[in-house]
Amino acid sequence: MARAIAIKASPAAYLYVEKKSYMKTAGLDVHKDSIFCAVFNGKHYSDVEVFETFSTGIRQLGAYLKAAGVLRVAMESTSDRYRREKYAECH
């Protein structure tokens, strides 16, 4: 089951979402073992929900987004894994 936690995003991220949101929007921050999700409904932000990156967690995330009526998702993930794989392919 997802767990709610309090996380503060950067003010610039909130400002961008507020200016660009015309419908319910979710922001996802993807990590190796968890996905953090917050929903903006045009006026208010939800609590941050945390989901696992295994298939059960992904299905729970999908159900959560559907139940929240989310129509747009923005995703952020920072990793150097793709660089290591591309380096291995080239060398």
* DSSP for 3-64, written as a single string: EEE--PPPHHHHHHHHHH-SS-EEEEEE-SSEEEEEEE-SS-BPPEEEEESSHHHHHHHHHH
pLDDT-based confidence at residue 91 (cuts at 50, 70, 90): low
Indicate the CATH number for domain 3-90: 3.30.420.200
Residue 19 vs residues 13, 24, 25, 50: alpha-carbon distances, Å: 10, 13, 12, 25
Residue 1: what pLDDT? 46
**Three-state DSSP class for residue 65:** helix
Comparison of pLDDT for 52 and 8, the residue scoring more: 52
Neighbours of 35 (CB within 10 A): 20
User: For 13-41, how does the pLDDT look when each residue is reduced to its tens digit (9 = 90+)?
Assistant: 554 555 554 578 999 999 889 999 999 88
Percent of the chain predicted with pLDDT > 70:
60
**Three-state DSSP class for residue 76:** strand
Residue 85: what pLDDT? 65
